Structure formats: structure tokens, C-alpha cells
Chains A and B, each alone.
Chain A
Amino acid sequence: MPNKQRLVELRIPSVFGYEKVAMATVTAVATRLGITGERISDLRTAVAEACINAIEYGNGSVADVPVVITMSTDGRHLLVDVRDRGLGETKPRMGKMVDIQNPPTGPHANMGLFLIHALVDEVDIVCRASGTHVHMAMRLPEMALH
């Protein structure tokens, strides 16, 4: 396993809207690593959803409890790690496709995890009493590998 190089660590307050700061940062880091186009859009959406879950479920929307987003690379992937403090729900459930006759009942209806799994190359979710860690990996394009 190649060494993991930490690139950026970002802390955002648990307030809806700050996920867009994470989106902007991951866009800059992904672009720097050669990821382009729709792959960046996919990653942006996945990171936003992970942050929203962390803000709402993980940190209970307590503003001064931060969500920590770490971006690193192992040389083959951009790795994005979203961590909360586990103040709320620590066993996330994954949603599914939407049935229009039985539309979502919750604010997110667990659709966020569905999107995260669908949009990035690898996902690993670790739930502990101390918090939930969502690890996401996006393969770097071949020409960016060295």
C-alpha cells in the first residue's frame, strides 16, 4: 500500500450551507490531482452529502461542533474522509431509489448514503461511539499517476 500523503484538512461548523465550503475545497484538490469534468461533480455531490449527514445526524446540528474533512492521496486515489463526533445517529441506513407513490418522509430519507455509494469509486463507513467516519476514494486518472 503506497504511503498516504495528507493534503488538506478542513473543519466546518455543523451548520447547513457550510458543506459548500467542503465542495469548493474538494474541487480545488481534485483538479490539482487531474480529476476533471463529471468525476468532479460526482465527488462534490458525495462530499456534500457526507457533510450534510455529519452535520445533521452525527453532530446534531450543534454549530460549534466541527465536521472534519481530510483530503489525502495514496498516489492512486484522492481520499476524502468526513468525520463527525457521533452526537446523534451513529448507524446510518442507506436509502434507495425513490418511489413516487411513497415519497421520502424524512428530510433526506437516507438518500444521501445512496448517492455517496453511487457516485464515488470506494466507500467505507465506520461507526464508533466517538463518531462516524465516511471514507471515500476516487481513482486518479491514469495520466495523473506517477
Chain B
Amino acid sequence: MTVQPQAAVTILEVRGDVTMDAEGELATAYETAIAAGAQDLILSLAGTEYMSSGGIAVITNLVHAAQASGRIMKISGLNPHYQKIFRMMGLAQYCWDPAAPGDYRGAFANRKEPS
């Protein structure tokens, strides 16, 4: 797991399987990013070939934690099979695939700025 601050967007780049065993490492990476001032986050799963339902639950909890703290986390880099699974599970709205590699500007276009 690596954390890459990229302008206003922080990318959490996952490598390897995502199962419920990933919970601790993902939570640590998320908390590290938040402590470093992250606001908008991308969870990149391009390096993941296997994800279990337990792993999806871990990711869902992470997205919810970000949302509950006023942040936005988008999931990116899913292969076509997991894109389908995320759609089936009603999670498509939390996914984002950049038009150009590494261009995450559009992922947060609908952010509501504080008035």
C-alpha cells in the first residue's frame, strides 16, 4: 500500500488481494492520509486481482468513513469483472475511471463547496 498526495487529491494505491484481512492496512493508510491533510481521496485498485466480499465490505466501510467526515473517496482501477460486481452491489456511484491515466479531476466535480 502506498499513499500518494497528488495536488488536492490523495491516492491510496492498493497492491495485492483485498479481503477482510486488508482492513487494518487500509485503515492505517486512510488515517495516515487524513493526518497528512487529505480531503479528496482515490482508492486505486488497479493492482488488485482478487477481492472477496469481505474485502468489499472493508472498502465500503472506508468510503462511509470518508463520507461521514465530509470527505469524498472514489474507487478507481477496478477490472471489468469487479466493475460489474460493484454495479450489482449498488456501489457504482462510488467508482471513478479517469478519461486519461492519472487524471482524477472529474472525480470530485460534484463536490458541494461549503457556503
Please report A residues at the B interface, Cβ cutoff 8 Å.
16-17, 19-20, 23, 38, 41-42, 45, 48-49, 52, 95, 97-101, 103-104, 106-109, 111-112, 114-115, 118
Contacts and interface: CB of A to CB of B under 8 A. Distances in A.
**Size bracket of the B interface:** 20 to 34
Interface of B: 19-21, 50, 52-54, 56-57, 60-61, 63-64, 67, 80-81, 84-85, 88-91, 94
Given A16-B19, A45-B81, A100-B60, A111 B91 contact: no
Query: For chain B, what secondary structure do more than half of its interface residues adopt (helix, strand, loop), or is it mixed?
Result: helix
A109 B53 contact: yes
A108 B58 CA distance: 9
B58 to A, nearest CB: 9
Contacts of B90: 97-99
Contact of A49 (B52, B84, B94): B52
